[in-house]
Structure 1
Amino acid sequence: MRYQFRFQDGRKWRHNVELQPQEEDRGPSPLPLWTRLDFHQCMHCPLSPESTPNCPYAALLVAPVEMLAQSPSYEQVEVEVRSRGRETRQSTSMQRGLGSLVGAIGATSDCPHMRLLKAMAWFHLPFSGSDETLYRVFGTYLLGQYLRGQRGLSADWSMGGLREAYRNLRLVNLGMTNRLRATMVEDSGPNGMILLDLLAADTLYSLDQYEGELDRYFTTFFE
């Protein structure tokens, strides 16, 4: 998948998100100090600096951070996303465009707490809203449980595992926000992460206290 940002001064910047990143896709060598695992490491990170010197999520953010760090979150940009033979364009703020990009990057990283999002990354939906995110999260998780059952594995139909995963995801977003704040001049990177956290928080709330947000789309199922 490819993201292209077109700035108001005519500049363009492209970034490819590899759905199955290879070693050469994990950033330049040597990686900057802020990608070190122990630099503002997430409080619940199961990795150790001895075995994993660099945060696998942060390592994939080096190019976006270097290019976009000087752009304030409110700057208007044209974003074009090409994925699976489709093209999506939107005029939006740097914050929202960067939030969509880093969300895709995180889902393809080797961060242990992002593993659940890998399936969603294959069917990435740029700039998705709350209802769209909730639909994709529920659908992806439940399909995954069905496929587990088809293989004779236990299935989590109560979605308790999904709740735990999204609690962990919120902590990852917090950790990455702290990491980016410590290294960036402008606020577009941290604000992009905050946008992701708002979506994660909204999804977690719906998991814990579902109030029929998606019911109107499924009326035929209730007949």
Structure 2
Amino acid sequence: MKEIYYIFEIENKKKNCSNIKLAANSLSLQQNIPPQLPEWTKLKNHQCFNCPLHSSKVKYCPIAGSIVEVIDFFQASASYEKITMKVESKNRNYVKDTTIQRGMSSMLGMFLVSSGCPVLTKLKPVVKFHLPFADYINFTVAENMLNEIDDLCEDIE
């Protein structure tokens, strides 16, 4: 099991720790989702245009269901509030003074890819190399590397 801790320390001393547990082999999110979720998490509420899931078989959006607790915690906070964010894992620790918005962006990327969304699941291999607080240079390098790997795989086939 791979565990990543996102610790948000907000200026008014409010603290949130989100523990993201990923299955070692599949990198799928290992999370206890409550049986009753808010109305906004239902798949039929605002299903993505390219989502292959059917609301007759899947009641809740996998991404929405996975982020309910995080949304509940931060709903009364302003995105521009200053925080100290810590990201801790087995191999690396990061600390950064930033805003809730930037910290959430880093963490939500993990939820998006590992939640079970059939569209974003293609990005799971990138989770192994997740860099909190990555900037456009990191994204550009990663995108180029993924394109090269994709081209290589096509050549092999």
Distance change (3 Å), C-alpha of 1:92 and 1:66: same
TM-score (norm 2): 0.86
**Pairing 1:5–2:8 present:** yes
Deviations 1:140-194 (A, max 9, x none): 3433554x46xx963xxxxxxxxxxxxxxxxxxxxxxxxxxxxxxxxxxxxxxxx
CA RMSD of aligned residues (A): 1.8
Letter in structure 2 aligned against 1:16: N
Q: Contact 1:27/1:63 (CA < 8 Å) preserved in 2?
A: no
Q: Write the mapping of 1:157-168 to structure 2, written as runs, cut at 5 A.
A: none
2:141 corresponds to which of 110, 135, 153: 135
Identity of aligned residues (%): 30
From the superposition, tell whether residues 109 and 142 of structure 1 become closer, same or farther in structure 2 (CA, over 3 Å). Answer: farther
Count of residues in correspondence between the two structures: 149
Q: Identify the structure with the greater helix proportion.
A: 1
Could you tell me how far apart the structure 1 residues matched to 2:112 and 2:32 are?
12
**Structure 2 unaligned spans of 5+:** 23-27
Match of 1:14 in 2: 17
Alignment check: 8 A CA contact 1:26 1:59 kept? no
Name the residue aligned to 2:107. 101
Contact 2:114 2:124 in 1 (8 A): yes
Look up the equivalent residue of 2:138 and give its one-letter code: E
Aligned partner of 1:35 in structure 2 is 41
The amino acid that maps onto 2:45 is F
- The answer to whether the aligner puts 1:72 opposite 2:74 as a matched pair is no
1:115 is the counterpart of 2:118? no
| 1:16–1:38 distance in 2 versus 1, CA, 3 Å | same
Quote how far apart the aligned CAs of 1:137 are. Answer: 2.5
Partner of 1:182: none
Equivalent residue letter for 1:139: M
Rounded Cα–Cα distance in structure 2 between residues aligned with 1:49 and 1:153: 38
- In 2, distance between residues paired with 1:58 and 1:30? 13
TM-score, normalization: structure 1?
0.62
SS in structure 2 opposite 1:39? Answer: coil
What is the Cα deviation at residue 122 of structure 1? 1.5
Distance 1:58 1:97 in 2: 18
User: AA paired with 2:20?
Assistant: V
